[in-house]
Amino acid sequence: MRALVLSDIHANIDALDAVMASAPPHDAVWNLGDIAGYGATPNAVVDQVRAMHGVVVRGNHDRVCSGLESGGNFNPIALAAARWTQTQLTPENQLWLRELAKGPVSPKEGRALCVHGSLRHEDEYLLSTQEAAQQLPALENSSPARLVFFGHTHIQGGFFAEGNQPWKTLRPQYHDHDTAEAFAVDLREGENYLINPGSIGQPRDHDWRAAFALYDADAPRVVFHRVPYDVRLAQMRIQRAGLPEKLGSRLRVGR
Ligand code: ZN
């Protein structure tokens, strides 16, 4: 069973198209949320994600962009983008976003869990080994899963630990920042893993390329991927939509 793991597309159809064009063969698609918000093509992205018929958990931007929440805790740029997105989404796409499942969601196959933020809270950011360690009780309660896919931080990689041992950071190692690259991690028996496939539409790990992962449950193995895409086109769309300029400029620097 091979699952394509996608997260934080953020209404960037140019990045999503590049990912789907280069995605290895897979049996399922797991989407970790933040499908809408920030980017200029929310309907094109939602249409494409709906057509994948995969497992989807909602993100914080999906809740605000669909009007489920007001976004009172959003910064001004995120809020401006969410309000613009609300005016653009078709009623069908808005309703689809509103009804997305809150994580954790357990796909039928693959012995893994999908969340947007963390096992403890859908809006929690997992940025450090300390925060990863705090997930252990929830991880142990969610047996047999020893593998959680999360998003929200827009940083590809994650954390791993054996039993009660200290957690370690996992970061894919790449050689250049301009071509498509992959980095494989074999999952070892007895280890717990919190894995972030990275953000497709707005990476924040200083790498502008769209990020995703492929999980092979039989190996078992996670392969991280980065693919270049037409950033200038995505930036032009953001500019034309009248969205805040920073939402375009940040894409090229990946932060
Ligand atoms: Zn996000």
Over the chain (255 residues), what is each successive 10-residue block's mean pLDDT?
Answer: 98 98 98 98 98 98 97 96 98 98 94 96 97 91 85 98 93 94 96 97 98 97 98 98 97 95
* Cα–Cα–Cα angle for 120, 171, 22, rounded to 5 degrees: 95
pLDDT value at residue 168: 98
Distance CA 2, CA 74 (A): 35
Q: What is the CA(32)–ligand 1 centre distance, in A?
A: 9
Q: What is the CA(198)–ligand 1 centre distance, in A?
A: 10
Nearest to 138 by CA among 90, 188, 104: 104
pTM score, whole prediction: 0.97
Contact 126, 132 (CB under 8 A): yes
pLDDT value at residue 128: 97
Q: What is the CA(175)–ligand 1 centre distance, in A?
A: 26
Q: What is the CA(152)–ligand 1 centre distance, in A?
A: 5
pLDDT value at residue 140: 85
Distance CA 61, CA 32 (A): 12
Distance CA 28, CA 53 (A): 9
Q: What is the CA(42)–ligand 1 centre distance, in A?
A: 14
Q: What is the CA(190)–ligand 1 centre distance, in A?
A: 30
pLDDT value at residue 144: 67
